[in-house]
Structure 1
Amino acid sequence: MSLAFGGFLLLIFSGLPIVFALGVAALLTIVMMTDTPLVIVAQRLYGGINSFPLMAIPFFVAAGVIMAAGGIARRFVDLSAALVGWITGSLFLVAIVTGTGLAAISGSGSADTAAVGSILSPEMKKRGYDIDMAASIIAASGALAPIIPPSIIMVVVAITSNLSIGAMFLGGIVPGLLIALALGITAYVFARRGGDAYRDSEPFSRARLGRAFVDALPALTLPFIIVGGIVGGIFTATEAACVAVIVTLIVSLFVYREIGLRDIPPLILKSVSISAAVLMIVATASIFSWIIASLGATQMLDSWLRSLTSDPVIFLLIVNLLLLIVGMFMESISAILIILPVLMPIAVSYGIDPVQFGVMATLNLSIGVITPPYGICLYVAAMVSGRTVEQVSGRIWILLIPMIAVLALVSYVPAIVLALPRVFFP
């Protein structure tokens, strides 16, 4: 097992893409430490992605790509501006509210970050906002996508741990909204202390809010269709993803009319390239997780953790620290596929609800998308804002504080996660 993890870390730090690092480390371990026929590698590669629920990923990705191109993101920005544009630090709050709304459609943090940043960053610069703080808030708003359903990461967590996707989606709603609220309060406090640049806000107007709401109404139906359909048993998560693509296409083509039929092939190609990258990681990670499980990783980690503590409180603290560190260096889906199959049985043995643990793991890794050195949303927000990651990282710690506070609540107050799932999945 040390060969698998050691080889993986060595390959990662040598600059090899994570998909190849996972596959090569697993292959070397199989060849050098087992007598497993190599044909098993091909079977595991195929078996890792031969899953009907996993088909939800490319469709949710496609829905996010269409959303960004079809005017849906801009309608959410306009509605958010009408709703909170009169408050001090209005554009910070608009970014957070918009990120919350887009998270309920796409499930892709990097796509949401790019959409929000491309619209709001120029105006933030124009008004004289602290651009590093602005980029940090845009990145944090993108980090809501893995938590608020529909979430691609939650689909992977549910499949990996044999959980209900609907229960996972419902479990993420309250934590996601709490993070959005905590980020909003933090941004408001920063803006209150930031000077006159943050007080350039328009007065609240019911007429403006009404117009923006009507304009965004077709897009606002999407979260209810997706999550409501899954929870109500009308369709599966994969079918819900297909419905999301159809609805976003209809809204973008015939309601907002910001794309035409000639724009669809490039959008499909973009969706396919993103989905292929994700599913390749799923395939190679399935081999890696299988080989380390075969070598007894779960039993070894269980024994080590129990030698440290028998207290679930301390166990959760150790796991949170572990996942926060892992999220800094590893892509979220890879981390889930490698670590969760090992940790989930141990968590259940400590009496922790698997849905709560799955949401907690998702929240940990969503924090990872804004923490350097890996933080993909941080990179996207910095790039869109014309700043370096090093410059933006000087502000991102301000937003990590409220996110970690919500993580603590999720870890130690199970009702925050489980209240909604228990209503619909008693």
Structure 2
Amino acid sequence: MSVVFGGFVLLVFSGMPIVFALGVGGLLAIQLMTDVPLSIVAQRIYGGVNSFTLMAIPFFVTAGVVMEAGGIARRFVDLAAALVGWITGSLYLVGIVTGTGLAAISGSGSADTAAVGSILMPEMKRRGYDVDLAASIIAASGALAPIIPPSIIMIIVAVTANESIGAMFLGGVVPGLMIAVAMGVTCWLIARRGGEAYRDHTAFSGRALWQAFMSALPALTLPVIIVGGIVGGIFTATEAACIALIVTLLVSLLIYREIRLVDLPALFVKSVGLSAAVLMIVSTASVFSWIIATLGAPEMLDTWMRSITSSPIIFLLIVNIFLLIIGMFMESISAILIIVPVLMPIAVSFGIDPVQFGVMTTLNLSIGLITPPYGICLFVSAVVAERRIEQVSRRVWIPLIPMLIVLGLVAYVPEVVLTLPRMFFP
């Protein structure tokens, strides 16, 4: 087993792209440690993506790309500004509220971070906000996308663990909203001591809020359609993704009119590239996951873990620390496809609900989106803010604290995750 993981780690640190490191590592393990014919590699690569459920990924990705270009993000910013723009530290709060809203549509943390940052960052600089803190807050708001449904990462977790996508989606709602509220309170407390730059002298206006709400209403129907349709059993996750894309196109083309038909080919080409990158990782990771299962890694790890502790509390502590470290160095989808098949059976044997464990895993890897050295949302936010990653990293601990507190609640208070799923999936 050490040959499998050792080879994979060596290939990653040698600079090989992770998609190839997964495939080559699995190929070498099959060749050196089993008598299985190498033709199984092609079968597993095909089998890894031969899934109706995984077809949801390209449709959700395309919906996110169209959303970014079609004016939906700007409507969410306007709505958030009307809602919380009169509070001290308003631009921080607008970023958090907007990131939360966009998370309910796109499922892509980096896209949400870029969209919110490009709109808000110039005004934050003009008003004298702490730019590094602003960049870290926007990055953390973008990192809510994998937690709040619809989430591409949660789809992969559910497929890998053979769990209900609807239940997994609902399990992420409360933790995601708790993180948003906790970050908002944290920013408000900081802004109160930050001086005049953070004072907003614009009074709350019910009329402005209503106008912003009506402008954003077509976009606000998307999360209701997607999540409501899946939870209500009206359509599957894949069908929901198709409907989300259709609605996004109609809203962007016919209502907001910020993209034209001639713009669509370029947007679709971009979506194909992003979707292919995700599905390539899924396909090669299926080879790696298969060889790990074949060599008995889950059973070996279960035996080792029980030799250390018989307490679910200690088990969850060990797993959370492990996942936080993994999230700092590995791309989320790859980590899920390798880790979930190994750890999920052990978690179930400790009496932990699979939906709770899936949401906890997703939250851990979402935190990895803002932690150096490879936090993609942190990188995107730093680029938009025109700051070095080292400068932004010094302030990232501020939004990180609320996320870690909620992670602790998700791990040790199951009702935080399971209350909504049990209402709809008893």
* TM class, shorter-length: over 0.9
For 1:386-425, what per-residue CA distance to the aligned partner results, in whole angstroms no more than 9, with x for missing partners? 0111111000011111100000001111111111111110
Task: Tell me the amino acid that sits aligned with residue 79 of structure 2.
Answer: L
C-alpha deviation, 1:201, in angstroms: 4.3
**Counterparts of 1:377-392 in structure 2 under 5 Å?**
377-392=377-392
In 1, the alpha carbon distance for the partners of 2:366 and 2:195 equals: 31
Q: How many residues align?
A: 426
Is the Cα contact below 8 Å between 1:288 and 1:338 reproduced in 2? yes
Is the Cα contact below 8 Å between 1:85 and 1:201 reproduced in 2? no
**Counterparts of 1:67-86 in structure 2 under 5 Å?**
67-86=67-86
Give the aligned partner of residue 270 of structure 2. 270
In 2, the alpha carbon distance for the partners of 1:201 and 1:249 equals: 37
Give the aligned partner of residue 337 of structure 1. 337
Give the aligned partner of residue 289 of structure 2. 289
**SS in structure 1 at match of 2:214:** helix
Give the aligned partner of residue 375 of structure 1. 375
Give the aligned partner of residue 41 of structure 2. 41
In 1, the alpha carbon distance for the partners of 2:201 and 2:363 equals: 32
Task: Tell me the amino acid that sits aligned with residue 24 of structure 2.
Answer: V
Which runs of 5 or more residues in structure 2 are unaligned? Answer: none
In 1, the alpha carbon distance for the partners of 2:189 and 2:336 equals: 34
Give the aligned partner of residue 100 of structure 2. 100
**Counterparts of 1:139-288 in structure 2 under 5 Å?**
139-288=139-288
C-alpha deviation, 1:74, in angstroms: 0.2
Is residue 378 of structure 2 the alignment partner of residue 394 of structure 1?
A: no
C-alpha deviation, 1:30, in angstroms: 1.1
C-alpha deviation, 1:4, in angstroms: 1.4
Is the Cα contact below 8 Å between 2:324 and 2:364 reproduced in 1? yes
Is residue 331 of structure 2 the alignment partner of residue 321 of structure 1?
A: no
For 1:242-295, what per-residue CA distance to the aligned partner results, in whole angstroms no more than 9, with x for missing partners? 000000000000000000000110010011000000000001111111111111
Is the Cα contact below 8 Å between 2:85 and 2:200 reproduced in 1? no
In 2, the alpha carbon distance for the partners of 1:328 and 1:7 equals: 20
Is the Cα contact below 8 Å between 1:69 and 1:258 reproduced in 2? yes
Give the aligned partner of residue 113 of structure 2. 113
Q: CA RMSD in A?
A: 0.7
In 2, the alpha carbon distance for the partners of 1:124 and 1:57 equals: 34
In 1, the alpha carbon distance for the partners of 2:35 and 2:245 equals: 45
C-alpha deviation, 1:8, in angstroms: 1.1
In 1, the alpha carbon distance for the partners of 2:116 and 2:32 equals: 48
In 1, the alpha carbon distance for the partners of 2:316 and 2:366 equals: 17
Normalised to the residue count of structure 1, the TM-score between the two structures is 0.99
**SS in structure 2 at match of 1:15:** coil
Is the Cα contact below 8 Å between 2:87 and 2:200 reproduced in 1? no
Is the Cα contact below 8 Å between 1:90 and 1:201 reproduced in 2? no
In 1, the alpha carbon distance for the partners of 2:106 and 2:158 equals: 18
Give the aligned partner of residue 135 of structure 2. 135
**SS in structure 2 at match of 1:107:** coil
**SS in structure 2 at match of 1:345:** helix
Is the Cα contact below 8 Å between 2:95 and 2:138 reproduced in 1? yes
C-alpha deviation, 1:19, in angstroms: 0.5
Give the aligned partner of residue 23 of structure 1. 23
Instruction: Identify the range of structure 1 (193-202 vs 25-34) with the bigger mean alpha-carbon deviation.
Output: 193-202
Give the aligned partner of residue 2 of structure 1. 2
For 1:200-235, what per-residue CA distance to the aligned partner results, in whole angstroms no more than 9, with x for missing partners? 342111111011001000001100000000001110
Is residue 388 of structure 2 the alignment partner of residue 366 of structure 1?
A: no
Is residue 302 of structure 2 the alignment partner of residue 302 of structure 1?
A: yes
**SS in structure 2 at match of 1:395:** coil
In 1, the alpha carbon distance for the partners of 2:16 and 2:127 equals: 41
In 1, the alpha carbon distance for the partners of 2:23 and 2:141 equals: 32
Task: Tell me the amino acid that sits aligned with residue 2 of structure 2.
Answer: S
In 1, the alpha carbon distance for the partners of 2:234 and 2:358 equals: 24
In 2, the alpha carbon distance for the partners of 1:341 and 1:236 equals: 23
For 1:176-204, what per-residue CA distance to the aligned partner results, in whole angstroms no more than 9, with x for missing partners? 00010111111111211221111134211
Which runs of 5 or more residues in structure 1 are unaligned? Answer: none
Task: Tell me the amino acid that sits aligned with residue 418 of structure 1.
Answer: L
In 1, the alpha carbon distance for the partners of 2:200 and 2:338 equals: 48
Give the aligned partner of residue 63 of structure 1. 63
Runs of 4+ in 1 over 6 A off after TM superposition: none
In 2, the alpha carbon distance for the partners of 1:184 and 1:289 equals: 39
Give the aligned partner of residue 408 of structure 1. 408
Task: Tell me the amino acid that sits aligned with residue 288 of structure 1.
Answer: F
Task: Tell me the amino acid that sits aligned with residue 176 of structure 2.
Answer: G
In 1, the alpha carbon distance for the partners of 2:132 and 2:21 equals: 33
Normalised to the residue count of structure 2, the TM-score between the two structures is 0.99
In 2, the alpha carbon distance for the partners of 1:241 and 1:220 equals: 15
For 1:316-338, what per-residue CA distance to the aligned partner results, in whole angstroms no more than 9, with x for missing partners? 11110010000000000100000
C-alpha deviation, 1:109, in angstroms: 0.5
For 1:93-124, what per-residue CA distance to the aligned partner results, in whole angstroms no more than 9, with x for missing partners? 00000000000000110111111011111111
C-alpha deviation, 1:157, in angstroms: 0.4
Give the share of equivalent positions with the same residue, in percent. Answer: 77
Task: Tell me the amino acid that sits aligned with residue 192 of structure 2.
Answer: R
In 1, the alpha carbon distance for the partners of 2:42 and 2:373 equals: 32
In 2, the alpha carbon distance for the partners of 1:381 and 1:9 equals: 28
**SS in structure 1 at match of 2:275:** helix
In 1, the alpha carbon distance for the partners of 2:349 and 2:165 equals: 22
